[in-house]
Structure 1
Amino acid sequence: MEGLWGTLGYKKIGVIYPEDPFGAAVLEGVKTALKTHGAEPVATASYPRQTAQVGGAIDTVRAADPEAVVLVGPANTVAPILRQAHAKSWKPLFLTVSFVGTDDLIQEAGADAEGMVVTQVVPPYYLTENKTVALYRRTLGKYYPSAQRNFVSLEGFVDAMVLMEGLQKAGKEPTREGLIRGIESLHEFDIGLGPKLKLNYSAKEHKGFDNVIPTVVRGGRAVPFTD
């Protein structure tokens, strides 16, 4: 939201989200971020979870003429939103979070995914100069040579690395409580993803990263937004 508001200058922001806890959480996150600027979403609309019945939500948010719209959900619901919106010649800046499954979205939405902004919690999986990305690619190639490299499996790989760090800090006979304490002890922990992605956990803070990496779909591929 900070980049959308401050860097790009978009002030009129809408949200289309599923009727489930995750959708409600993202909506609340957007509201909280905008509140710091004395603003709120110009329009919000929900749709039934895991469905393509999104026409009503599109029309509701479109009526407010937002400059940017946050779409929440997996690829099989975000893709229909993009297709139906573009069919109605509605093309604000659409953005979503990594939960969507970026590569699945690109495959399902095709050309309608072009220009979509997706915030990631890991660097692009093809950036081999990144230490942890390179380790991920080598490990996946060694044990699962036929598996496709993508953002989702890289996220899972990093999750496993965090788990291992927590287990090591939990001692030789780890317990549930020891594992939790081990992970919560990771402060400014460099997991090899770059200077903007250092882990910060505590008893009250469990999100891990304070920053995200914005990517944009160009030519059927998610690339860093600055490219």
Structure 2
Amino acid sequence: MSKSRRLTGLCYEVLKIDLIRNYFCWIRFQFKKGDIRIFEAIGSEVGKETIEHNMGALSNRAAYGMGNRMALLLYPLAALVRDIERPKVLIVGPRTEDDIFWARSLGMLDARGLDLFSYSSMIDIGDMHATRYATAEFDAVILGWVVSYSSVPGGLLQECQRIVKPGGYLGFGIESNPELRATGEVKPPRANSLNSASDIAALTTANIVFIHDPQLEIPTDNAVILKLSD
């Protein structure tokens, strides 16, 4: 192994440490925030407050890691794809580079992102409802706390299934809100009534390979990973 590869591997090992990675990504944003690009051709499927809500969070350091909730998806996925040589992973809605560096530190070295806006060359800009990616391009697609911003989550799921390889994985994160569960009232920036990992799983016949769905009487992070048929 070359010195450069050993150094890269060491750097990614360090980025497994949440506090270091979060601050590293926040510092990178300070230098790159002038490079923000925004996707202009946004369809009606995207909630009206989605960009304003998410871009407003970039100035808050807490947005870099978001309490490291992506652990619910990245650690199970790392185990599921560990026998795939250089798995190609797409992370939708990462907002910052934190999720990308975290995935790469866990061995998913070809991970990249897709969002409606970005300052990073590691994150494409576009709308997940209609991407430019090839059919069956990715081994896995993760939507981290994104599905709530879609007014047509079924259509979003179809596009995800199109770009994932047969036998590949789809992961979703969502906040389960007890108020929504009790009243059924959807408040912006949410654009649909999905409110749990089980709600998402019910949209498809794909097999559940991981689920975290506690259904508590406080807001909780839920996650589900689905395996598509071969």
TM over 0.5: no
In our comparison, the structure showing a higher alpha carbon Rg is 1
TM-score under structure 2 length normalisation: 0.38
Which structure has more helix as a fraction of its residues? 1
Q: Which has the higher contact order (CA 8 A, sep 6+)?
A: 2
